[in-house]
């Protein structure tokens, strides 16, 4: 079955620590990959996306993600987190060709808590 896995359910870090959140997906072939963020009390919004080209993608607020096709992974990174990064982070994948109509599937999310 098609799936997106985020293995870290809750991550707690101190300010200035480095961050890496894992995301793995179960499709082969061409994919579009996304990371979305949901700050407390706010809409879900796009953090970054990968469609093609350079597998290292830079997003808003200093976040980046690396697409590693051989590992079916799209991990999110930030070198130095801030208290304002406290939020829930969702990985999502669009993989056409695996069903009658392509759809965007989300992982279960990772809650990130930053200690000031």
Q: How far apart are CA 32 and CA 112, in angstroms?
A: 24
Residues in the site for other proteins, rule: CB under 8 A? 6, 9, 32, 34, 36, 43-46, 49, 51, 90, 92, 94, 96-97, 100-109
Cα 116 to Cα 106: distance, rounded to the nearest angstrom: 29
Q: What are phi and psi of 81, to 5 degrees?
A: -85, 160
Task: Pick the closer one to other proteins by CB: 18 or 108.
Answer: 108
31: left (phi over 0), alpha (psi -120 to 50) or beta: beta
Alpha-helix runs per DSSP H in the chain:
none
Q: Which is nearer to other proteins, 36 or 74 (CB)?
A: 36
State the nearest-atom distance from the C-beta of 52 to other proteins, in Å. Answer: 10
Shortest separation between residue 10's beta carbon and other proteins, angstroms? 10
CB of 115 vs other proteins, minimal distance in Å: 22
């Amino acid at each position: 079955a098609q799936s997106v896995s985020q293995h870290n359910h809750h991550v707690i870090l101190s300010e200035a620590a480095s961050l890496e959140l894992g995301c793995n997906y179960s499709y082969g072939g061409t994919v579009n990959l996304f990371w979305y963020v949901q700050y407390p009390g706010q809409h879900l919004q796009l953090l970054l996306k990968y469609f093609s080209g350079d597998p290292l993608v830079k997003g808003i607020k200093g976040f980046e993600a690396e697409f590693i096709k051989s590992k079916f992974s799209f991990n999110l990174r930030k070198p130095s987190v801030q208290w304002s990064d406290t939020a829930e982070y969702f990985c999502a994948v669009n993989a056409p060709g695996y069903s009658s109509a392509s759809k965007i599937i989300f992982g279960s999310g990772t809650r990130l808590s930053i200690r000031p």
